[in-house]
Chains A and B, each alone.
Chain A
Amino acid sequence: MDAVLAARLAAGDDYALAEVFDALAHSVYGSAVRVLGDNSAAQDVVQDVFVELWTHPDRYDPAAGTLRTYLTVLARHRAVDVIRSELRRVARQERSWRLTPAPPSAGAGDEMVAAETASLVRAAVKLLPASQRQVVELAYFKGLTCREVAHAAGIPEGTAKSRLRLAMAKLEELLDHQLLESS
């Protein structure tokens, strides 16, 4: 059945797209809501998922699993991407505020989200190995440049860069894990 739907989608059959939406949109939406807990963002994820299915139907392999599983996993990944993107934005914003003498005032809601996200990031940073945690704290919480981080930590600049790269990769992994567990 899913193989027939996939073949119809590949043939550009808009009736098939509507059929898939009617049958599976609840599951896709539910998957997004469980990660995001936000109606508007979850709707955006549902749209992304169905646009992806319609524009690249060949990425779904019926032999690998059901269409329901494919779409709900895709929705979960997209929802996690939304959170990751938000975390990066907040981290950039926080660093920018620390470097700017008079930061622009944010709305109460924005401040709350930023504070919650920053707290998530800080919790994840604590799980990093000491050498990586040190460079992250210097760069992101004290706002130092890479050269200044190297000087403060007493390590070569190349080592500081490499530790930062490793730390950011580990941080993303930790945050993903945290988000997937909570979904």
Chain B
Amino acid sequence: MTAADPDPRVLPAGLRDRVLAASLRARAVGRPVPDAPEIPPAEAFSRAVSAFEAALSFLSDDEWGTPVLRGLDVQGLVGHLIGVEDDVQRALAADPEVAGASHVESTQSAATAQATRPPARTRADWRAAVDRTLDRVRSADSRAQVALHGLRLSVRTLLVVRAFELWTHENDIRQAVGWAPSVPDPSTLRLMTDLAARLLPLAGATLDDSVDVHLVLTGPGGGTWDVTVGGHPPATEAVAIVTDAVGFCRLAANRIAPADLDVSVTGDPGRAAAVLATAATLALD
């Protein structure tokens, strides 16, 4: 190197800004690479239905009696889902009675009604109920708003919520009978993580202190979101939370505690803990 050559130990001024700006022009923040093929929410729901049905098809008659959740065995849980499908169809038909109904109470009679029936009959009734929902969805405007179980949301969001619910209950059953957990395909998972991330601000609206959250969900179906959690303008630095996409969905379904999530935090650990606790209250099951 001669005296006129640049010193490689000294980074030229402005290079950092120039490089970062060029990078972000080439690829927007938040989009995962490789990106999962985009699918419509109805397809995500349909895939979740197929996965749930496949799990049911492997259960023995005895396993249908395995206790799973809220005092329900597998058959009762499938009965609950028959009730949910009925309520969804009523919501799509703008029935005001289901708008404020409780997700659990309004489906309890459908759940308990399965107790004395053959499992195959319950399974067939659930599949028929799902098919009726899919028929209604095909003719619905995906942007139309529906009111169901205390929520008001678009048809497309409702379908992602339902995919989330079916995946969660499929894994409730898998855990109850001792099977390994399942992971949604990346396209479905991407819709689920996006839903959970975008709902975080709503779930945290009652927090005393707001916080800007840089949420990074790694693995297939992941991505990056910048959201403000809480009802007031943030007074402190942003908190960066990095965790696995599937783990975060289990948290948002309230199936694991924040302490059980493998997470890396930059910023105030207390605020990060509050955000993760908020995510668990989404209870997307």
A→B interface (CB under 8 Å): 4, 7-18, 21-22, 25-26, 29-31, 33-34, 37-39, 42-43, 46-47, 50-51, 53-58
B224 at the interface (CB under 8 A from A): yes
Bound-complex Cα distance A54 to B218 (A)? 15
Which residue of the partner chain, among A10, A33, A54, A56, contacts B32 with CB atoms under 8 Å?
A: A10
Distance in Å: Cβ of A7 to nearest Cβ of chain B = 4
Contact (Cβ within 8 A) A47 B19? yes
Contact (Cβ within 8 A) A11 B8? no
Contact (Cβ within 8 A) A43 B12? yes
Contact (Cβ within 8 A) B6 A39? yes
Which residue of the partner chain, among B6, B26, B30, B34, contacts A58 with CB atoms under 8 Å?
A: B34
At the interface, is chain A mostly helix, strand, loop or mixed? helix
Assuming the contacts A12-B33, A12-B223, A12-B224, asked whether A46 and B28 have C-beta atoms less than 8 A apart, the reply is no
Q: Which residue of chain B has its CB nearest to the CB of A39?
A: B6
Which residue of the partner chain, among B20, B30, B266, contacts A17 with CB atoms under 8 Å?
A: B20
Contact (Cβ within 8 A) A56 B33? yes
How many chain B residues touch the partner (CB < 8 A)?
Answer: 36
Q: Which residue of chain A has its CB nearest to the CB of B219?
A: A7
B→A interface (CB under 8 Å): 1, 5-6, 8-9, 11-12, 15-16, 18-20, 22-24, 26-34, 214, 216-219, 222-224, 240, 242, 264, 266
Q: Which residue of chain A has its CB nearest to the CB of B29?
A: A14
Which residue of the partner chain, among A12, A25, A56, contacts B11 with CB atoms under 8 Å?
A: A25
Question: Which residues on B sit within 8 Å (CB–CB) of A14?
Answer: 20, 24, 29, 224
Bound-complex Cα distance A167 to B96 (A)? 81
Bound-complex Cα distance A119 to B115 (A)? 91
Question: Which residues on A sit within 8 Å (CB–CB) of B11?
Answer: 25-26, 29
Assuming the contacts A21-B19, A50-B23, asked whether A12 and B9 have C-beta atoms less than 8 A apart, the reply is no
Question: Which residues on B sit within 8 Å (CB–CB) of A11?
Answer: 32, 216-219, 222-224
Question: Which residues on B sit within 8 Å (CB–CB) of A47?
Answer: 15, 18-19, 22
Question: Which residues on A sit within 8 Å (CB–CB) of B224?
Answer: 11-14
Q: Contacts A12-B31, A12-B32 given; 4 further ones with Cβ under 8 A?
A: A10-B33, A13-B29, A33-B8, A54-B24
Bound-complex Cα distance A30 to B9 (A)? 7
Bound-complex Cα distance A4 to B218 (A)? 9
Distance in Å: Cβ of B242 to nearest Cβ of chain A = 6
Question: Which residues on B sit within 8 Å (CB–CB) of A4?
Answer: 218, 242, 264
Q: Which residue of chain A has its CB nearest to the CB of B214?
A: A15
Contact (Cβ within 8 A) A12 B27? yes
Assuming the contacts A11-B218, A14-B224, A34-B8, asked whether A25 and B15 have C-beta atoms less than 8 A apart, the reply is yes
